[in-house]
Structure 1
């Protein structure tokens, strides 16, 4: 697994959890300005998720690492991202499967899960690395998304 330091989020929570994972997926960007990326191509995406909170659950976890992996890996690994119609679509550029939108969408899916937990941890950021030299960090604005 890729081991490196990630951009840090300043916060006042007692606990911070980071989960690294990767998945292989293909995508294309359905816009004329996307150049070669208009063609179907694949990546091994590396993802880092930062979750923080003050309270642990009844198992002593902020959140179970496996739950985070399930939300991301089992949803996207070995898929064509454009086929994930609940997350992406080809008619709205805000929902094209670009690295920026993938990072935001992962955050939204994780946030939806975390808000259902009694201890209410928060996803502070999602980093998605598409290539060895290119990555995106998504952080929701403090007042919401």
Structure 2
């Protein structure tokens, strides 16, 4: 088995807010990120798949097909969108880096032919990222 990682990028806006809390509690916990107008990030996504190398192609997966899947399932849905307002999975979940990684896993799981999804890593900033390995 070998691991292969492909990167993609998208730009999105979001804010952190828990409707069960008061405005004061949201501000205390989330600080500037509780601004309901939102703020943006240029995210970097790394998707790692695991599988056996095809002896004919030398690939674990068809790289163009993997790029197309990432574009269709993630980039076209998240890029230049306000996650809280425009992306269905965040209607009830706070779009933290952690929750974004989980949501992307759910969007990709089972959709990559001939390989198993191993890891989703989402960078919100160069010094902040979340890894998700699925339910283990």
Both proteins in one fold, TM over 0.5: yes
- Which residue of 34, 38, 52 corresponds with 2:34? 38
- Once residues 4 and 10 of structure 2 are traced to their aligned partners in structure 1, the CA distance between those partners, rounded to angstroms, is 20
Q: TM-score, normalised by structure 1?
A: 0.72
Q: Which runs of 5+ in 2 are unaligned?
A: 19-25
The answer to whether residue 92 in structure 2 is matched with residue 98 in structure 1 is no
Bigger helix fraction: 2
Q: List, as ranges, runs of 4+ consecutive aligned residues in structure 1 with deviation greater than 6 Å.
A: none
Asked if 1 retains the 8 angstrom alpha-carbon contact of 2:4 and 2:60, the reply is no
Over residues 52-95 of structure 1, what are the superposed CA-to-partner deviations in whole Å (9 max), with x where a residue is unaligned? 12365x986614222223221111000001124431124xxxx2
Q: Which is greater in Rg?
A: 2
**Alignment match, 2:122:** 128
- Once residues 99 and 16 of structure 2 are traced to their aligned partners in structure 1, the CA distance between those partners, rounded to angstroms, is 11
The answer to whether residue 109 in structure 2 is matched with residue 111 in structure 1 is yes
Q: Considering only aligned residues, what root-mean-square deviation do their CA atoms show, in Å?
A: 2.1
SS of equivalent residue, structure 1 residue 113? coil
Q: Which runs of 5+ in 1 are unaligned?
A: 1-12
Q: How far apart are residue 17 of structure 1 and its match?
A: 1.9
